[in-house]
Structure 1
Amino acid sequence: MDSQRCHALLSQTQRYHDHQNSADEVPMSHNPLLERHSLPPFGDIRPEHIAPAIDALLEELREGVEALVARAEQQAPDWDSLAAPLEALNDRLSQAWSPVSHLNGTMSTPELREAHDGCLQKLSDYSTWLGQHEGLFRAWQALRDGPAWPDLSEAQQRAVDNALRDFRLAGVDLPPEKKKRSAEIRSRLSSLSSTFSNQLLDATQAWSLDLDDDSRLKGLPESSLATLAANAEAKGHSGFRITLDFPSFYPVISYADDRELRQEVYTAFVTRASDQGPHAGKYDNAPIIEETLRLRQELAGLLGFSSYAEYSLATKMADSASQVLGFLDDLAARALPQGREEFAELERYAREELGLTELAPWDVGYVSEKLREARYAISQEQLRPYFPAPKAVSGLFAVVERLYGIHIKEDTSAPSYHPDVRFYRLFENQTPIAGFYLDLYAREGKRGGAWMDECRVRRRENGELQLPIAYLTCNFTRPVGDQPALLTHDEVTTLFHEFGHGLHHMLTRQDVADVSGINGVAWDAVELPSQFMENFCWEREGLDLISGHVDSGEPLPQELFDKLNAAKNFQSAMGLLRQVEFSLFDFRLHLELEAPSATDVQALLDSVREAISVVPKAEFNRFQNGFSHIFAGGYAAGYYSYKWAEVLSADAWSAFEEAGIFDQETGSRFRREILEAGGARDAAELFLAFRGREPSIDPLLRHSGIRAA
């Protein structure tokens, strides 16, 4: 096992499970996490299984690593004597930890969270031990320099080079005292990441507002009222319950005519896990942020980097911090004049049509939705009836089947962890090639957002092929009563985005785990397949497959399609500036500040907003305290990757625009050069092989409706 794959395991710390059986139903001699399964046995996993399984596996892995190192010292290692058995050891740990990690984010209970979090330091310690193991490093280097090297495949050579890079990034060359300090930092950072995520989840679930009737909810569509009523019913109340989960929060901010209600809900949302708002100080993530940033900068310094931002670029496409800042500054400069125009128009509409003389932060979403409806006679709620979740899902499958010649079929016999979850298998020429769990709806105990994660990675061992399995998770508005869930067009786009990540994982042809699927892919290129898939949600041919009215089955009418596309780039410059704001804040935070206080962090965010934001700010807003991407995910000093990869995805899509969105030759080339290649080759090489030239920023600007293009 190399440090890159182990660190990938440690990043999967945002998932979870709720099993109802009592502790004495299954004897502890039977531990499902220590057994090999083609799919996780979710129904058998209980909190008390987790620590014993991880303890036993880590002991087994340490012994296995030492045995392999001893062998490598006796004879020159080759792939089969070093890399393959290390990969097998890694897969043993992955098969145990992956379901625990996933369930920690989807079915959280206090008992399971405690068991999960109790293993984080053990895993971090093992990862650090592995990454700093000088004997193992020498064994990898001997493979790289030895007689077996020329016979390795391209994927195997890439995996070896990545492993050697990651050893150096882990501090294998450090003197003992610095190596020890590096280990302490990594262990603490793992714990801080989990604490940040847990406190944000707790803060989100701690707040709710119960209303006896709908008098304060005027303006909300019927579907949203039904969701709020279902929230109340689930808690044994009558009336309506507003929570801070997105399907509840978003309709209130976007549609509620009651301005005081919008302010109350907005305030609760933007002050989660902070020193402000209704639970001020109770779940405050500010100390977590301060310590995390200080330790990251210290770690980067130990490894010889001037900042954590520079350290993070060692595994990315971008060459330097100045290149990243130049890229973001250029985007901001192109979008800022148009963004100011868009906000001035919003202010004018609010003043003239709604009587609002000054826009507050909790007014922006509401007024924007009113202006969108007035200008284009279309809203997300108006589109919901055309996107019942079953039709959107089947349409997604139809798009993928048409594009790549594969077939997707549900497998109802697969073990699951919640009644809402479905499992599907991918077939090519009637042969199974992959599978995925689809978990669409928000619920209590499930962290917010949408993501794809590995359940199984494609790899080959002793001639046997392990098929890739993905977790695809969203937080959409759940079904109410007998009616299927009705998705907004935005939610459909999110579904396509995550499935793009899933395709990257599932359609790989790599048999080496470290470069299979998304593994080994530069972080600022990993969003290319996901952002690419979103484009099908805006095309007539795609929407004819995705949409079907909940009552009549009629596809989206041409009139609504025209309005949807006309409104596509509504406030596009404001949206682009918001993403650049997050990206600049993140990157500069890890580039410029060595030991920042909470005041320093806020001051930097304020200065970035002052330079490029066009919308009003609330002084009590503590966005950073909920910025999970960089404090509880893998995007630290890398949030810019979304825009960086969007340049690639927009340019890739322009090839389909030229040839036809379902052109078989172009689809086959995209699959071969991007999806199947995984991390076996450099991302820039893969893009060049697909597009035939270097990427251009022009398609992104054109697709985003930025006139400065």
Structure 2
Amino acid sequence: MNPLLDFTGLPRFDTITPEHVAPAMHQLLDENRALIARLIAPDTPATWDDFVQPMLDAGERLSRAWGIVGHLHSVNDIPPWREAYNALLPEVSSFYADLGQNLALYSKYKALASSDAFGTLTAARKKIIDNELRDFRLSGAELPEDKKPRFKAIQEALSALAAKFSENVLDATNAHAEWITDAAELAGLPDDVIAAARAAAEKESKPGWKFTLHAPSYMPVLQYANHRDLRARMYRASATRAAEFGPTEWDNGPLIDQILALRDEEAKLLGYANFAEVSLATKMAENPAQVIAFLRDLAHKARPFAERDLAELRAFAQTECGLATLESWDMAWVSEKLRQSRYSFSDDEVKQYFPEQKVLSGLFRVVESLYNVQLLPDTAPVWNPTVRFFRIERLNPLSGAGQLIGQFYVDLYARETKRGGAWMDEAITRRRITSADFSSTIQTPVAYLNCNFPAPIGEGEKQRPATFSHDDVITLFHECGHGLHHLLTQVDELPISGIRGVEWDAVELPSQFMENFCWEWDVLSGMTAHVDTGAALPRALYDKMLAAKNFQSGLQMLRQIEFSLFDFQLHSDYQPGGAQTVRQLLDAVRREVAVIVPPEWNRFPNSFSHIFGGGYAAGYYSYKWAEVLSADAYSAFEEASQKTGSTLDAATGERFWREILAVGGARPALESFAAFRGRAPQPDALLRHSGMVVAA
């Protein structure tokens, strides 16, 4: 049996090969097409059981199989998997484009929505029908027949361009290596970074040290290397990835132009003024003007703090570092020097207290304390030997026995075959399955948690455990928040279970919420042990970290607003093929909100995978939008801690689970927030957490 067609349990990563992809996907696509032909027949009643449920069942099998293929394309991007994925991508994209434009299907959903039976459906099922009708409209179902082929062609082209964009970034990242043979150039770098670079060189049987553009290698060079020319070379290599300076086949510049033109054409076909309006049709924000006003208001509040941050940095660079000019490749290095000078600690010093196992156990303790669950090691086939697998059990308050509610994979380390960044994805989604005898079971959800952290160094007894920076720890908590949103759902209907059906600008709420616990003493004190001595994080060092928490928070917030405003204006005000170029628009955004302007040759857009290779087009603002929600939600735990002495308050955690995590997309996110907080969200907590409250 083709293992991609086995839906009885976990994905069979030990037996799935690229050769399985084409036959499995062709079979599933054929099955879905045959089913749709039966369902749109006049003699098929437009009811939930006769029409909607069969669609969901068949659609899940297809999406699960294709999800495995897409996952392996992301985490094991070797030529056979890339070829297998790209070979089927056009056909899969074509199928979904046809599905969204199928007028007969759309008519069946409309018939159900207007029938007497609709009134008998649960609120969850009504929401699913409403979402389907909206999505059919956004997929071009109401277009004139002569316009549908073009709309479909646009969908297929955008899928292919997004995949190619991400592949170009990965290939360009892998293509550059900085080989160091003079030990003097390593001055300032932490020992474990040097050891990892030496191991990378030894792996290729070469002398010296190998540094790459992957984050665990690249970021420490920018932050710690005293050798300015090394920093400059690495920065330029990273900032010019997938641009016209390298191989033509990896240049994302032309792809950006094509993607923007196609998105604009898609929006116009649907009757929208621009793609931003299309994007907001499935988000909390009501219109582009509201998003722009939100971002500009935040920028106005953050700018004085960012200007102060930059002035301090420039003064320190001149007086303490001997730098008359502060270049882009100096920013992280001078910032680290200033942080050490001001707060008497370094990121590398902190990193030694966060070995992988202690971090994971500390994270698990937070989850267990908040939600009355147990996280336990589990076994499953994996795609890489370093991947780990766990289960979540809900504890019965009377018996203490555990009941399985979800499982998840953890893939922590950077690899050349793995795309950059960190992300959570679905493997299996919770749903209720009803058998022919009308008995039912719950399909428990499964998630992938993916990061790009430095791996352990060495082998056997001499292996040094992986250690994570505090930023890495925050990233892990962030992705775990997404995972919990998927895994702790109590919704049994597939299309609105977990993160499904949740407005995109609210989906970051649970992830950013989890980040806050990384600053609590009662959390950190139990998840640290010095990698060499085993000593816990000293309270004095924690106090310094806390004092430095909002170090350069103004600069950091303006940077995120710059990216968000660039993305949103690119999809609302920008005219593809017009007089203004993408780079000129970015320059205009920077003149409005930024205080730091990178070199002219910086090609940041060419590796902005969130909006060109991912799902954040006209939605990058979601990070800040949801941060308002998450900070305000976390303030409920801060209020509880004034009575209990800890933000790990089980009663508040239970309420957060019940009103936010458990309901998934079953109701609007704003209603879920109000149900938890008892009121509408307010930005005060975000500004307070960011240190942007001006003392009276």
The answer on 1:67 being equivalent to 2:38 is yes
What's the CA shift string for 1:544-594, capped at 9, x where partnerless? 222222234332111011000000000000000000000000000000123
Q: Which residue of 1 aligns with 2:254?
A: 287
Structure-2 change in CA distance of 1:286 and 1:440 (3 Å) = same
What's the CA shift string for 1:220-263, capped at 9, x where partnerless? 01011112112212222232101000000001111111111111
8 A Cα contact 2:44 2:50, kept in partner: no
Q: Which residue of 1 aligns with 2:431?
A: 459
The answer on 1:419 being equivalent to 2:389 is no
Describe how 1:531-610 pairs up with structure 2 within 5 A. Answer: 531-596=512-577, 600-610=581-591
The answer on 1:223 being equivalent to 2:209 is no
Q: Which residue of 2 aligns with 1:470?
A: 447
User: Which of residues 62, 79, 97 is equivalent to 1:93?
Assistant: 62
Moved more, 197-206 or 595-604: 595-604
Moved more, 448-457 or 133-142: 133-142
Helix, strand or coil at the partner of 1:119:
helix
Cα distance between partner residues in 1 of 2:194 and 2:580: 39
Q: How far did 1:504 drift? A: 0.0
Q: Which residue of 2 aligns with 1:37?
A: 8
Q: How far did 1:597 drift? A: 6.8
Moved more, 91-100 or 516-525: 91-100
Helix, strand or coil at the partner of 1:391:
helix
8 A Cα contact 1:309 1:321, kept in partner: yes
User: Which of residues 379, 404, 408 is equivalent to 2:371?
Assistant: 404
Q: How far did 1:666 drift? A: 0.9
Structure-2 change in CA distance of 1:282 and 1:186 (3 Å) = closer
8 A Cα contact 1:651 1:696, kept in partner: yes
What's the CA shift string for 1:134-175, capped at 9, x where partnerless? 111111112211122122122111111100100001111110
8 A Cα contact 2:422 2:450, kept in partner: yes
User: Which of residues 154, 172, 176 is equivalent to 2:123?
Assistant: 154
Residue type of the partner of 2:15? Answer: D
Residue type of the partner of 1:57? Answer: L
Q: Which residue of 1 aligns with 2:682?
A: 696
Cα distance between partner residues in 2 of 1:238 and 1:155: 62
8 A Cα contact 1:454 1:469, kept in partner: yes
Root-mean-square deviation (CA, aligned residues, Å) is 1.3
Moved more, 213-222 or 569-578: 213-222
The answer on 1:358 being equivalent to 2:328 is no
Structure-2 change in CA distance of 1:598 and 1:401 (3 Å) = farther
Q: Which residue of 1 aligns with 2:665?
A: 679
The answer on 1:648 being equivalent to 2:629 is yes
8 A Cα contact 1:232 1:238, kept in partner: yes
Residue type of the partner of 2:212? Answer: T
Q: Which residue of 2 aligns with 1:319?
A: 286
TM-score if structure 2 supplies the norm length? 0.95
What's the CA shift string for 1:494-542, capped at 9, x where partnerless? 0000000000000000111110000000000000000000011000111
Cα distance between partner residues in 2 of 1:461 and 1:100: 24
Q: Which residue of 1 aligns with 2:420?
A: 448
Cα distance between partner residues in 2 of 1:522 and 1:222: 44
Residue type of the partner of 1:215? Answer: A
Helix, strand or coil at the partner of 1:545:
coil
Structure-2 change in CA distance of 1:52 and 1:577 (3 Å) = same
8 A Cα contact 2:76 2:418, kept in partner: yes
What's the CA shift string for 1:666-687, capped at 9, x where partnerless? 1111000000000000000000
Cα distance between partner residues in 2 of 1:51 and 1:605: 41
Helix, strand or coil at the partner of 1:315:
coil
Q: How far did 1:622 drift? A: 0.2
Cα distance between partner residues in 1 of 2:579 and 2:181: 39
Q: How far did 1:451 drift? A: 0.2
Cα distance between partner residues in 1 of 2:428 and 2:527: 28
Cα distance between partner residues in 2 of 1:300 and 1:421: 41
Cα distance between partner residues in 2 of 1:165 and 1:630: 22
Q: Which residue of 2 aligns with 1:370?
A: 337
Cα distance between partner residues in 2 of 1:420 and 1:368: 34
Q: Which residue of 1 aligns with 2:404?
A: 432
8 A Cα contact 1:434 1:507, kept in partner: yes
What's the CA shift string for 1:112-137, capped at 9, x where partnerless? 10110111111111111111111111
Helix, strand or coil at the partner of 1:690:
helix
8 A Cα contact 2:590 2:597, kept in partner: no
Cα distance between partner residues in 2 of 1:621 and 1:45: 41
Q: How far did 1:377 drift? A: 1.0
Residue type of the partner of 1:59? Answer: D
8 A Cα contact 2:38 2:44, kept in partner: no
Residue type of the partner of 1:443? Answer: R
Moved more, 664-673 or 288-297: 664-673
User: Which of residues 469, 473, 479 is equivalent to 2:456?
Assistant: 479
Q: How far did 1:78 drift? A: 2.1
Q: Which residue of 2 aligns with 1:16?
A: none
8 A Cα contact 2:574 2:585, kept in partner: no
Q: Which residue of 2 aligns with 1:665?
A: 651
Cα distance between partner residues in 1 of 2:523 and 2:177: 39
Q: List gaps (5 residues or longer) in structure 2.
A: 396-401, 435-439, 642-646
Identity value in percent:
51
Q: How far did 1:708 drift? A: 4.8
Q: Which residue of 1 aligns with 2:99?
A: 130
Q: Which residue of 2 aligns with 1:524?
A: 505
Helix, strand or coil at the partner of 1:83:
helix
Cα distance between partner residues in 2 of 1:695 and 1:454: 28
Helix, strand or coil at the partner of 1:425:
strand
Q: Which residue of 1 aligns with 2:601?
A: 620
8 A Cα contact 2:97 2:139, kept in partner: yes
Q: Which residue of 1 aligns with 2:84?
A: 115
What's the CA shift string for 1:245-291, capped at 9, x where partnerless? 00000011111111111110000001000013xx2645110010000
Structure-2 change in CA distance of 1:97 and 1:371 (3 Å) = same
Q: Which residue of 2 aligns with 1:14?
A: none
What's the CA shift string for 1:471-504, capped at 9, x where partnerless? 0000001100211101100000000000000000
Cα distance between partner residues in 2 of 1:97 and 1:104: 10
Helix, strand or coil at the partner of 1:219:
coil
Residue type of the partner of 2:678? Answer: G
Residue type of the partner of 1:587? Answer: F
Q: How far did 1:77 drift? A: 2.4
8 A Cα contact 1:338 1:707, kept in partner: no
Q: How far did 1:34 drift? A: 2.0
Cα distance between partner residues in 2 of 1:488 and 1:409: 24
8 A Cα contact 1:273 1:625, kept in partner: yes
Alignment size in residue pairs: 675
What's the CA shift string for 1:614-653, capped at 9, x where partnerless? 1242010000000000000000000000000000000000
Moved more, 608-617 or 56-65: 608-617
The answer on 1:173 being equivalent to 2:145 is no
